[in-house]
Amino acid sequence: MSPAVAFALHMAAGILIGWAATWAIRRRHRRAKARARLTRELFLLRHHDPRWARQTLNDIHALPTTQGDR
């Protein structure tokens, strides 16, 4: 394998790994933001209606995190 081909493969692998890491971080961040929006409400409601709080958490976990991630 020529050095140019090896370098091209190395660069392609680096770009692919970078894209995958960015995608995973964005996905986790979007879920964290969705959970943070309702943190206070869930805390207050947990003591009064645990079924509602559990359903809301389930809804948050089911939120799409990137386009087409359903």
Residues 3-55: tens digit of each pLDDT: 999 999 999 999 999 999 998 888 888 778 777 777 766 776 666 666 776 77
**What is the average pLDDT across 55-63?**
80
| Residue 67 pLDDT | 63
Q: Structural domain tally of the chain?
A: 1
In a domain, 40, yes or no: yes
In a domain, 51, yes or no: yes
In a domain, 67, yes or no: no
In a domain, 35, yes or no: yes
Domain holding 55, by residue range, is 3-61
In a domain, 66, yes or no: no
Between 1 and 44, the more confident residue is 1
Q: Can you list the alpha helix ranges (DSSP code H) found in 1-63? A: 3-37, 39-46, 50-61
In a domain, 70, yes or no: no
pLDDT surpassing 60 at residue 69: no
What gap in Å lies between CA 70 and CA 68, rounded to an integer? 6
What gap in Å lies between CA 50 and CA 43, rounded to an integer? 10
Q: Is 68 left (phi over 0), alpha (psi -120 to 50) or beta?
A: left
The set of long-range contacts for 52-55, using a CB threshold of 8 Å and a minimum separation of 24, is none
